[in-house]
Amino acid sequence: MLALLSTMGCARTQTTNSLVTPLPPSPNPYVTYMAADYSKPGQPTLTANEVAQIREVLALVKPCQVGLLRYAFPA
């Protein structure tokens, strides 16, 4: 199973003066990889369908979002 993930868009972040209590990290059941690096050494072997999905999504996102796009596999 392949999951494509993106965290944020290209908007500038705004800071506020509110007090935020961080949550403890939860165990991540997925191993994630940079989508733009799908064909580089050290990446998992993908099927032709998975490569096509990654290429399709990379073609749709803005250039500033490419670095935020990741794909994941269950650990």
Please give the model's pTM, rounded to 2 decimal places.
0.63
Give the model's confidence band at 25: pLDDT under 50 very low, under 70 low, under 90 confident, else very high.
confident
User: What tokens appear for 46 in the block?
Assistant: 């993908």
Grouping H, G, I as helix, E, B as strand and the rest as coil, residue 25 is coil
What separation in angstroms does the CA of 11 have from each of 16, 36, 61, 64, 65?
16, 20, 14, 10, 10
**What mean pLDDT comes out for the span 3-15?**
59
Grouping H, G, I as helix, E, B as strand and the rest as coil, residue 53 is helix
What is the distance between the alpha carbons of residues 53 and 32, in angstroms, rounded to a whole number? Answer: 16
**What mean pLDDT comes out for the span 60-71?**
91
Give the model's confidence band at 48: pLDDT under 50 very low, under 70 low, under 90 confident, else very high.
very high
**Confidence at residue 69, expressed as pLDDT on a 0 to 100 scale:** 92
What is the distance between the alpha carbons of residues 10 and 65, in angstroms, rounded to a whole number? Answer: 6
